[in-house]
Structure 1
Amino acid sequence: MDKEIDMRGKQCPIPVIQTKKALESEKDGRIITIVDNDVAKENISKLAKSMNLRAEIKESKGDFYIEIYKEGDIQISEGLEFPSKGVNREDLTILITKDTLGEGNRELGEVLMKGYIYTLTEATKTPRRLLFLNSGIKLTVEGSLVIDHLRKLEEKGVEIISCGACLDYYKVKNQLLVGGVGNMYDIVEKSNAAKKTITL
């Protein structure tokens, strides 16, 4: 049975995640994912290869049609872990210190941060907590592009804390939409208590 997924206009990792979900939900058949950029095309091709599935790519009017053929259960090769089923928390704290990801172009940084937070919602292992500092607190207040993703993480049991002093500094404390307010003592204690802390 054929299933078509139109991911034109979507940035990675969304096309990859949606393709993987479709592959997991279908026992046999052909999954056709349509994308309009090289990055998504390459990432979906790598996904198919990691699952030991045959993939063919066709181009038409600037769009790429990635046809993946599936028969039976997926066998994932070693070296790739891109889970989307089930939820487990690991003792990981992620300290988010700005509202963009990486250095350089702000628009790109916003896209990358949105993709990162979205991908966290799809992971098998979610972090125990997300701590937001400095301009990172802008992700937890009105106008944030990732509020829905953060709410989904909170529903999965991820603790979300925004720095109270930072909320006050940016004058957005009354605009907080997800998680709770913490002080620096809370943030230091929770970071130190975690087995692993990542700072973005």
Structure 2
Amino acid sequence: MNKILDARGWACPKPVIETRKALQTDKLLTVIVDNKPARENVSRLATKMNCKFTIDEKNDGIYINIDCEGSEPIQENTQEEYITCETGKNIVLVIATDTVGKGSDELGGILMRAFMHTFLEVKPSPETIIFMNNGVKLAIKGSPVLEDLQELSNRGVEILVCGTCTNYFGITDNVAVGIISNAYNIAEAMLNADKVVNL
């Protein structure tokens, strides 16, 4: 049974520091946080320690279930690598096609794969990625960017997939990442964003 570390209301970087301390003695730990930076920091720490983890977002907080059994202890000098206290902007990325730009579809596909992989490395990360029209094909089984999208989702990026679009293409049952969403939720995410970027 997982030990509970309730880190809600704690200022950065306390949640990740206390998580790190707790994992020295408890290999099964559930950390409860209430904001995205804390979620990202704790998730990054778990990844750095080669621990398995799942994220469960509930009404009362974000539950990060960490399993470090069999992992190696983290080195003392790596703490700065996984702590980020910047809140950043709420950036929403809208993808309405499965390629980037006009012209060569082959080149556009290569560029899309490159961009998706790059989003794992750059900061700030988008808060939400919305897939519409042909873009929904990137979120299905066999997609060349599926692995990157799943990793983004694991890191807390919300992925919304237009349900009307997947129904139109007959691929709803093949959606392999994110939430099949509707026009209301998609519009709400866009209108509440600090910045909307169309790719």
Is the pair's TM-score, using the shorter chain for normalization, greater than 0.5? Answer: yes
User: 5 Å matches for 1:29-178?
Assistant: 90-178=89-177
Partner of 1:60: none
For residues 112 and 83 of structure 2, the distance between their equivalents in structure 1, rounded to whole angstroms, comes to: 23
| Unaligned residue ranges in structure 1 (runs of 5+) | 1-83
Partner of 2:183: 184
Inter-CA distance 138–86: structure 2 relative to 1 (3 Å threshold): farther
SS of 1:112 mapped into structure 2: helix
Q: Which residue identity is paired with 1:144?
A: S
Is the 1:90–1:126 contact (alpha carbons within 8 Å) kept by the matching residues of 2? no
- Relative to its length, the structure with more strand (as a share) is 1
- Residue 142 of structure 1 and its aligned partner are, at CA, apart by 1.4
Q: Which residue identity is paired with 1:103?
A: K
Deviations along 1:65-121, one digit per CA (max 9) or x if unpaired, are: xxxxxxxxxxxxxxxxxxx97666631000000000010100000000000010001
For residues 93 and 138 of structure 1, the distance between their equivalents in structure 2, rounded to whole angstroms, comes to: 19
- What is the aligned length? 117
- Residue 143 of structure 1 and its aligned partner are, at CA, apart by 2.0
Is the 1:85–1:124 contact (alpha carbons within 8 Å) kept by the matching residues of 2? no
SS of 2:98 mapped into structure 1: coil
Instruction: Please give the TM-score of this superposition, normalised by the length of structure 1.
Output: 0.56
Instruction: Please give the TM-score of this superposition, normalised by the length of structure 2.
Output: 0.56
Is the 1:161–1:179 contact (alpha carbons within 8 Å) kept by the matching residues of 2? yes
- Residue 125 of structure 1 and its aligned partner are, at CA, apart by 1.6
Identity %: 34
| Unaligned residue ranges in structure 2 (runs of 5+) | 1-80
Q: Which residue identity is paired with 2:191?
A: N
Q: Which residue identity is paired with 1:104?
A: G
- Residue 132 of structure 1 and its aligned partner are, at CA, apart by 0.2
Partner of 1:194: 193
SS of 1:127 mapped into structure 2: coil
Q: Which residue identity is paired with 1:135?
A: N
- Residue 140 of structure 1 and its aligned partner are, at CA, apart by 0.1
Is the 1:92–1:127 contact (alpha carbons within 8 Å) kept by the matching residues of 2? yes
Is the 1:99–1:113 contact (alpha carbons within 8 Å) kept by the matching residues of 2? yes
